[in-house]
Structure 1
Amino acid sequence: MDHAKQRFDTLDPALAAGTAHAGFTVTRAVPLPEISGSAYVMRHDATGARALWLACADPNKSFSISFKTPPTDDTGVFHILEHSVLCGSARYPVKEPFVNLLKTSMQTFLNAMTFPDKTMYPVASTNTADLENLMGVYLDAVLHPAIYERPRIFEQEGWHLEVTGEGDDASLSYNGVVFNEMKGALSDPDDVLYQALSAALFPDTAYAHESGGNPRKIPTLTYKEFLNNHARHYTLANSYTVLYGDLDIDRELAFIDKRFHTAQARDAGAPNELELQAPVRPTRREVRMATAPTNSSIGLSYVLGTAADRTRVLAVDVLLDALCGSNEAPLKRRVLDADLADDFSAMLIDGVLQPQAMFVLKGLHEGATERFRALVEDVCCELARDGIDRERLEAALAQAEFTLREGDWGGYPDGVALSMQAMSGWLYDDERPLDYLRYEDALAELKAGLDAGYFERLLQGLICESAHAAEVELVPVEGGDAADETLELAQTRAQMSEEDLAAVTREVEALRHEQEAPDTPEGLASLPSLTVDDVEAPAAEPEPRDTQAPLPCIAHELDTHGIDYVYHYFDLRRLSFEELPYVGVLTDLLGRLDTARHSASELDTLIGKNLGGLDFFTETYTRDDDLGFADPVLVVGASSLRANVDILATLPREVWAETLFSDAARMRDALTQRKIALEQYFVGSGHAAALARTSTYFSAASGAASQMAGLDYYLFLKGLLADWDARAQGLEARLSALAGHIFTADEVTVSFTGNAAERERFWEAGGPLGLTPAGDVAHRLAIPAPAPRNEAFVIPSNVSYVARAAAPSSADAGTLGAWQVATRALSYDYLWNEVRVKGGAYGVGFKRTTEGLRQFWSFRDPAVDATLGRYDGAAGWLAGWRPDSAELDGYVVSAVAAHDAPVKPRQLARRQDMVRFGGRPAGWRDLVRAQELACTVDDVRALAPALADDTCARGICVFGGREAIEASGVAFDSVTELVGA
């Protein structure tokens, strides 16, 4: 056993309960095999602050400090505080220390989050000095924020009035980062429905309120109330600190203790209470929202108990997956067959004091309102009485176990994700900091309960005997909050004198002056920083290799903790361009229909019991500096525990080779659900959709990708479903033939991640995976030449997403590494200040693609034309950029840190596959990293002519509400009603 495992797998006697460490006393020490480590629970002696160290061998260390912040209204005060405390502090008197850290540290995670009842400030880094820098800035921010001395932070991040026009034509508008963020968030029907359900379920508690803030209520928040809420809640007695990873714990506790001792008592009163809601069963409610008619929906929720019952919470998660996790799950199938709506889903809402099971019906059909709740409850009571299919329960439980053991948290480092998990129990009970980190005992209890009727009794109590449930219908209407806001502002304007208007204008000018004033050299010097000399050599990546197998195989021999991953890449260049949308249809249907051997329901259960996942999707590879190259592929990705490697080798083949495309009703259900998911993506992530769309104006690869999974595919799908009865008749033959052309031994590559012995077992079980050469392997894909244009897409949203791209410039002689450094300078300095701070957009950024495109984007933006104008200023700003050596070092360090950020084995293997398929040479990533490290100020400024090159073709894409698009001065080539038409 190596030193790290010896240190963390067994409890350290020096940290036994009762021992004192730098002002903290250990109250519990517990082995935690789920993280291959131990947990040490502590209290800060002087303040009562809670602390927890999750000790394990992970070098990607993390820290978080959290506060219990249950709201008492809809003003979003805690959300505004989350933003505002990161805008300078006593020790770091600069305007945006948070942004300085984003652009200059080696952080692998840096953010802050507002939840319905808590606010968290987590950071992570692989470098100890950097982690301490991050900890120091965050602790000073939450304990000594500049909000008490700089009231305009509240105006910038929260809300303020602005005046447009003069005299009788003068009108008012609201602006502010959180105000605009929440206008975007509450353009999402899912968010509106969830909050309305929460208010119905918990009318007497904090959960009745929108913790992010309702734009109709945010302008009622005063600066005095804002400060009072900070003083009452950001106290150490109300705090929870989590440390994670391979740390010198005494050193870090001493670091924290020193800063805790500087906290001042503001004596503002006690924090808000977080109370349990007594059971209620209100009558069905309506919430009206200005959105597309297709967004009509119903939410139905049942409270399952409290967060204290960890096993019950996990059991409900398993139960909902068994009942509704796929179109073949029994409850979902019954609802779909009843033709109540376009889609139906269920989810567990946890991480709150009283978790709930939530059922959602979307795209309502006639009669849905009257029939939905009775149908759900009747079917659940029937299943509770007659029994839930044992194999389906086993499959759902297997999926839960796989997910827990894999521990893949998406974009979150393990330490940050586990800190959030710890708060799911700890916030509500000081004795339960570990409940949601453990799962072994709960899994064992649920497995034992399969034969004892555990899940049937759970369903009976949850649904059939519920005393705490609510139902809300979301009704789309015209006008809504936007019209109410306009009327409110008009009434306010009517009551204001010319002097009142002048006072508003003067205050905005003062705010702009403060925003534009540079930080003092002394303030900047106060910030902790790293230099290029602090950048350590990266850990060597295990290299993949080609290995002998029945098919071309890339072997990634990585430590996957007992999980095998396989990806099959099927080249699509033998298809025609017109066939590409049908590839998208194919990927949306595979795994959801009958095969020659199994019904859709049997297949669904088989996959759930034996595989961690089975996914069909498309990717398109390009070549650096070659916009005309495109290599689209269909990817089949699957994973399993090692014990199931033989099924990993055979089950995907059954799906791709033997699926029957004859069930038109099931196909329509699946494709309708995909259409709805894309519509939600356009509204919630319009910046990404707009950015992808601008790429299609120049790149053949992007054009192909759009046909299979992007905006063009959505438009194709919309037309297909609108004319379903006529077009479905020929779909069976078309999809069967298409599958036959794609799934052959011609130009397929298999990537296997796991150890060599498991790879051998995979090939022994699968052989050539049933694939044979097709004979005709000529490439015939001809992608139409892209053309730049200006497009607008109307979505039901109160904010916009504004993207602009330019074709490669002959003036662009910069390296990719230099562009990476410039990207951080533009995104976190110029664009952040201009578009976010001054303009009020929630997010903004720049990127230069490896193909040479230069792209700008904004997120939840109240403006269109003003933002485009600020994009125009980027070249001049970059040409005049004069950072000192410390600032440049910061950008270089952060660029390299992003390059070196640790990834999970599966993610590493996929990244290496994509580097290969992109035709990049060996050592390409090392080359880019070396370019970043060698980057000079002159290298960055030399990129400005490429940004300024007005001989390059440009294209603009805006996703937003119709009013904003029509008010824009952009001469759009087309304006398309995207959602609901």
Structure 2
Amino acid sequence: MEFEVNKEYHGFKLIEENHVKEINSKVRVFFHEKSGAKLLSLENDDDNKVFAIGFRTPPEDSTGVPHILEHSVLCGSRKFPIKDPFVELAKGSLNTFLNAMTFSDKTIYPIASKNDKDFLNLMDVYLDAVFHPNIYKYPEILAQEGWHYELNSKDEEITYKGVVYNEMKGAFSSPEDALYRKIQESLFPDTTYGVESGGDPSDIPNLTYEQFIGFHKKYYHPSNSYIYLYGDGDLDKQLKFINDEYLNEFDKMEIDSHIDIQKTFNGIKEVNGDYPVSPNDNGKDKAFLSLNFVVGECTNPEISMAFEILEYLLLETSAAPLKKALIDAGIGKDVYGFYDNSILQPVFSIVVKNSDESKKEQFKNIVFDTLRELSEKGLDKKLIEASINIKEFRLREGDTRTYPKGLLYYTKAMDSWLHDKDPLIHLRYEAPLEKIKAALTTDYFEKLIKQYLIDSNHCSLLLLKPRPGMAEERADVVRKKLSDYKKSLSDVEIDKLVKDTIALRERQITGEKPEDLEKIPLLSLKDIEPKIEDLPIEEKDICGNKVLLHPMFTNKIAYLRLIFDTKTVEQQDIPYIGLLSAVLGKMGTENYNYMDLSNEINISTGGIGYASVTYLINNTPGEYVPKFLVKSKSLVDKLPRLCELLEEVILKTKFDDKKRLKEIIQELKSRLEMAIFDGGHIVAANRLFSYFSPIGFYEENISGLNFYKFIEELDEKFDSKSDEIISKLSKVSKEIFNKNNLLLSAAVEKEDYKKVEENICSFVNRLSKDKVESKNYNFDIKAYNEGLMTQGDVQYVAKGSNYRKLGYEYSGSLQVLKTIVSLDYLWNKVRVLGGAYGAFASFGRSGNMFFGSYRDPNLKETLEVYDKLYEYLENFEADEREMTKYIIGTISNLDTPLTPPMKADKALAYYLSNITAEDVQRERNEVLNTSREDIKGFAKMIKEGLSENYICVLGNESKLRQNEDVFYNLVDVFN
């Protein structure tokens, strides 16, 4: 359908129509005359359609009202009155993305689906949720999702409970998160960015129901909304639906959601803060230092892009000069930065981790001295070229991995649209990129450094110190506050609290009315494609080595993988495989120092990465293949240079630069610490698998907690062990990088495959051809059942076993079981009733199964929920509609849209795991044919598996010590 500017379509007046070549989309900007809603449409040939609605939601305090509201509006609405439509959609739609997100200044509700009918259904539920939520009817929604006083009997202690409350307790446990919040607070003391939109646990209990409702009334109106449509859908039909079903009910309003500019400071503002470490920790070398600068406004696309590049150039790449200066001066053991342009006044931060407060002045001086020197003497032009090239490669590739491409474009549009500017300025990246390329021949970046950093007054110097016992002090403060509160209550008031607690629980455990459940739109199984997606793979030969060709459209990019077997490495040397993956590309070689090597890679390629990975062997329980994966990509015409650089790194790396090696190990330790805080559920699950699974034990030693402890020891004893480390890296490298160990994988357009053959052979033939010997590993696999102690305020509770060892086989129906257990049983028991932020189940082809919780206030209670799962399954009831819903939701997870490199990597994984297309089709058929009886039939397997009692919990030290009878061992995660 053709649209004309200034004409009205279903209440929407078309304001502007353009073609944006950078994203290959026809772009239309509409304004809904009656309601005041704004709408942006990106029309293109992408069948993974995206809808989103967002609101400008600037908070005035740190009670977390925008975040709690984001959770709460999805807990039932006018047309869909059940308690959790969001979960019903997750169970039973073909969504490819379904979520809601709170930012510092906005809240967005995005969905995506490739199915037209499903897309409209999802849009309907989300629009009804934001405009007509049940929060006005049920104050219990705030109690459940936000916070409430929990008192089960008048003799108990009062506690705080709530999903967001526990989520933010977990978030506030991470020192990096605490640092980021302190940075915003220090730079924006007078604006909305100075408060915590997610909610500070100490402030969340101050939020009243009246404030909660008032925030929705004020900001969740179409006049304050930003609606978005992306993909190949029928735009006219979509506009009609949005108008007829929703916007037509509203009249335009003036809504004051304006965000003020923070007044510039007169000079550097110095701020101190604390974060918790164990009472026994001396806190040595655990301080964070950061210098933070406000950089213009996010509505300037050129400066925004330039600072994204500048941050990478100064602090991220191996050739980063500011990072090098700070590391060389011994200011800290890890240096990194970030540039946040998602807020009105973007922030550029320089962060040093594992430092000491005595180095604060030295840190500041080195930063400014280095910046002055770079500004006056000039940046290395090759470094500039490399940094611009890697940014341009990523822009043109458009590979988001995590989010649908359409959602990425929405967030970019909102960076300007939210502040009443053209939503397209960050999507049209060619013009600003061309201006920035002037830096290759001028002092472009040098001027930016001087103007926005050296001469800036709007900056802060932040010291975040470790404080032993802080977590315990914080817990004592909360306990005393609640104890004093209880003492202040009359018997009548205490009885009311008990009644309120019971009433909330009764609401939570009460089932839905069938007639209400049926109001949630549902596809039929006929709407599902019964056949699996084809993953192109052809076996070829390159100079005597097998190569897997994945012919597909890649936009003239070649994705090349080198896969080396690592079974040639001695068992005691397995952790060095993980270290090797961290070292390669970051050390010098025969022809380049490490900085020049980094520049050469970034100038000529889209990146080279290294990882130690494992693939299970299908239908062979306990068997797996460990591999070392070299992932690379470049434009097809740069393949010769890519192959030269692969050869340089793999065959000519010099491991004997002790200074550089020590820097890499210190940085790796720091990054692993961050990963433990960010992914406690993953740490606990992987540790759990090592108790009963050879593949789990192996992975624990190349990337898990064992690997972290290995790196920690290398860091502590580096001076005495450096020669041994160098010798081991050299030995392991020689054992892995052998022609007889090598398999190749190439994703490229078929006509370009010849160029892969022409260029890779010379490198492959230079690999060692010595005979290789595969080693037999004998791991000490047993139930260690550990409590992994940190200063976090929440737990990550994992329990599981291997069902194949018990004689059970893998079936696609287990994936339906996963959907049911994760989004029904565990959601209700662990999240809704228990107050955890999340809970989930997993059943792998290897036989490994586990149940886990995320940011969980509980421990034994959650384990008890897992143990009673078999009873739920024995009594499982579901009619045909319910089973259809669970099956559709499972297919949605199986059908995640894949980019070309993701398709190639999935095909490679299937190949190495001996998973055939027939196996995958059989799994899909089993999913589609899963019955209620199949689900009930898993009760015995679950009961037997969990009775083996493999348990691992990562969490708060005090909580774990209070429950030490659960564990065989208590382990300090951080020394």
TM-score by length of 2: 0.97
Alpha-carbon distance, 1:490 to partner: 2.5
User: Which residue of 2 is the match for residue 33 of structure 1?
Assistant: 21
Alpha-carbon distance, 1:502 to partner: 2.2
Instruction: Report the residue type matching 1:727 in the other structure.
Output: K
Instruction: Report the residue type matching 1:363 in the other structure.
Output: N
| Alpha-carbon distance in structure 1 between the residues aligned to 2:600 and 2:946 | 57
Instruction: Report the residue type matching 2:889 in the other structure.
Output: S
Instruction: Report the residue type matching 2:258 in the other structure.
Output: E
Q: Are residues 814 and 144 of structure 1, via their aligned partners in 2, closer, same or farther at CA, if it must alter by over 3 Å?
A: farther
| Alpha-carbon distance in structure 1 between the residues aligned to 2:461 and 2:357 | 18
User: Which residue of 2 is the match for residue 171 of structure 1?
Assistant: 157
1:893 aligns with 2:888: yes
1:307-386 → structure 2 map (5 Å cutoff): 307-365=298-356, 367-386=358-377
| Alpha-carbon distance in structure 1 between the residues aligned to 2:37 and 2:697 | 55
Q: Which moved more, 1:476-485 or 1:43-52?
A: 476-485
Residue 496 of structure 1 is aligned with which of 489, 495, 499? 489
User: Which residue of 2 is the match for residue 520 of structure 1?
Assistant: 513
1:217 aligns with 2:203: yes
- Where 2:151 maps in the other structure, the secondary structure is strand
- Where 2:14 maps in the other structure, the secondary structure is strand
Cα contact 1:789–1:954 (8 A) shared by 2: no
Alpha-carbon distance, 1:450 to partner: 2.6
Gaps of 5+ in 2: none
1:705 aligns with 2:699: yes
- Where 1:758 maps in the other structure, the secondary structure is helix
User: Which residue of 1 is the match for residue 273 of structure 2?
Assistant: 287
Q: Are residues 223 and 620 of structure 1, via their aligned partners in 2, closer, same or farther at CA, if it must alter by over 3 Å?
A: same
Q: Which moved more, 1:307-316 or 1:324-333?
A: 324-333
| Alpha-carbon distance in structure 1 between the residues aligned to 2:84 and 2:134 | 11
1:825-840 → structure 2 map (5 Å cutoff): 825-840=820-835
User: Which residue of 1 is the match for residue 149 of structure 2?
Assistant: 161
1:295-694 → structure 2 map (5 Å cutoff): 295-365=286-356, 367-429=358-420, 431-477=421-467, 478-480=469-471, 481-538=474-531, 540-550=533-543, 551-694=545-688
- Where 1:526 maps in the other structure, the secondary structure is coil
User: Which residue of 1 is the match for residue 138 of structure 2?
Assistant: 150
User: Which residue of 2 is the match for residue 6 of structure 1?
Assistant: none
Alpha-carbon distance, 1:371 to partner: 1.2
| Alpha-carbon distance in structure 1 between the residues aligned to 2:801 and 2:466 | 38
1:918 aligns with 2:918: no
Gaps of 5+ in 1: 1-11
Alpha-carbon distance, 1:395 to partner: 0.3
Q: Are residues 150 and 241 of structure 1, via their aligned partners in 2, closer, same or farther at CA, if it must alter by over 3 Å?
A: same
| Alpha-carbon distance in structure 2 between the residues aligned to 1:100 and 1:456 | 54
Aligned length: 964
Alpha-carbon distance, 1:537 to partner: 4.3
Alpha-carbon distance, 1:449 to partner: 3.7
| Alpha-carbon distance in structure 2 between the residues aligned to 1:950 and 1:689 | 21
| Alpha-carbon distance in structure 2 between the residues aligned to 1:732 and 1:691 | 32
Alpha-carbon distance, 1:491 to partner: 2.2
Residue 853 of structure 1 is aligned with which of 836, 841, 848? 848
Alpha-carbon distance, 1:868 to partner: 0.4
Residue 99 of structure 1 is aligned with which of 55, 62, 87? 87
Question: How far does the alpha carbon of each residue in 1:238-288 deviate from its partner, in whole angstroms, 9 at most, with x for none?
Answer: 000010000110000001111223645799x94443111111245311012
Q: Are residues 596 and 263 of structure 1, via their aligned partners in 2, closer, same or farther at CA, if it must alter by over 3 Å?
A: same
Q: Which moved more, 1:32-41 or 1:145-154?
A: 32-41
Residue 199 of structure 1 is aligned with which of 154, 177, 185? 185
Q: Are residues 624 and 764 of structure 1, via their aligned partners in 2, closer, same or farther at CA, if it must alter by over 3 Å?
A: closer
Q: Are residues 516 and 465 of structure 1, via their aligned partners in 2, closer, same or farther at CA, if it must alter by over 3 Å?
A: same
Q: Are residues 809 and 736 of structure 1, via their aligned partners in 2, closer, same or farther at CA, if it must alter by over 3 Å?
A: closer
Q: Are residues 250 and 619 of structure 1, via their aligned partners in 2, closer, same or farther at CA, if it must alter by over 3 Å?
A: same
Residue 181 of structure 1 is aligned with which of 167, 188, 211? 167
| Alpha-carbon distance in structure 2 between the residues aligned to 1:304 and 1:746 | 53
User: Which residue of 1 is the match for residue 221 of structure 2?
Assistant: 235
Instruction: Report the residue type matching 2:696 in the other structure.
Output: S
Alpha-carbon distance, 1:963 to partner: 0.9
| Alpha-carbon distance in structure 2 between the residues aligned to 1:849 and 1:125 | 26
Cα contact 1:807–1:953 (8 A) shared by 2: no
Cα contact 2:12–2:30 (8 A) shared by 1: yes
Q: Which moved more, 1:760-769 or 1:193-202?
A: 760-769
Q: Which moved more, 1:142-151 or 1:300-309?
A: 300-309
Residue 864 of structure 2 is aligned with which of 853, 869, 872? 869
Q: Which moved more, 1:529-538 or 1:144-153?
A: 529-538
Alpha-carbon distance, 1:184 to partner: 0.4
User: Which residue of 2 is the match for residue 21 of structure 1?
Assistant: 9
Alpha-carbon distance, 1:646 to partner: 1.0
Cα contact 1:307–1:313 (8 A) shared by 2: yes
- Where 1:284 maps in the other structure, the secondary structure is strand
Question: How far does the alpha carbon of each residue in 1:283-325 deviate from its partner, in whole angstroms, 9 at most, with x for none?
Answer: 3110122236354202211111001111111001111211112
Cα contact 2:532–2:920 (8 A) shared by 1: no
Alpha-carbon distance, 1:870 to partner: 0.6
Question: How far does the alpha carbon of each residue in 1:540-597 deviate from its partner, in whole angstroms, 9 at most, with x for none?
Answer: 4242011121221110111111211111110011221111111111111111111001
1:971 aligns with 2:970: no
Q: Which moved more, 1:143-152 or 1:936-945?
A: 936-945
Residue 959 of structure 1 is aligned with which of 947, 954, 957? 954
Instruction: Report the residue type matching 1:221 in the other structure.
Output: L
1:260 aligns with 2:250: no
Residue 807 of structure 1 is aligned with which of 802, 806, 813? 802
Question: How far does the alpha carbon of each residue in 1:322-365 deviate from its partner, in whole angstroms, 9 at most, with x for none?
Answer: 11123431111111000011111111111110112111110114
- Where 2:622 maps in the other structure, the secondary structure is strand
Alpha-carbon distance, 1:917 to partner: 0.6
Cα contact 2:35–2:252 (8 A) shared by 1: no
Cα contact 2:268–2:457 (8 A) shared by 1: no
| Alpha-carbon distance in structure 2 between the residues aligned to 1:768 and 1:509 | 73
Cα contact 2:223–2:252 (8 A) shared by 1: no
| Alpha-carbon distance in structure 2 between the residues aligned to 1:467 and 1:785 | 59
- Where 1:381 maps in the other structure, the secondary structure is helix
Cα contact 2:286–2:356 (8 A) shared by 1: no
Q: Are residues 547 and 641 of structure 1, via their aligned partners in 2, closer, same or farther at CA, if it must alter by over 3 Å?
A: same
User: Which residue of 1 is the match for residue 759 of structure 2?
Assistant: 765
Alpha-carbon distance, 1:921 to partner: 2.7
User: Which residue of 2 is the match for residue 791 of structure 1?
Assistant: 786
Question: How far does the alpha carbon of each residue in 1:791-844 deviate from its partner, in whole angstroms, 9 at most, with x for none?
Answer: 111122000100001232677656521111111011101110000000000000
Question: How far does the alpha carbon of each residue in 1:889-938 deviate from its partner, in whole angstroms, 9 at most, with x for none?
Answer: 01111111221221001011001101111122343221211111111111
User: Which residue of 1 is the match for residue 107 of structure 2?
Assistant: 119
Alpha-carbon distance, 1:643 to partner: 2.5
- Where 2:470 maps in the other structure, the secondary structure is coil
Q: Which moved more, 1:282-291 or 1:572-581?
A: 282-291
Question: How far does the alpha carbon of each residue in 1:848-905 deviate from its partner, in whole angstroms, 9 at most, with x for none?
Answer: 1112232100000000000001111211111211111111101111111221221001
Cα contact 1:812–1:946 (8 A) shared by 2: no
Cα contact 1:683–1:796 (8 A) shared by 2: no
Q: Are residues 626 and 795 of structure 1, via their aligned partners in 2, closer, same or farther at CA, if it must alter by over 3 Å?
A: farther
- Where 1:552 maps in the other structure, the secondary structure is strand
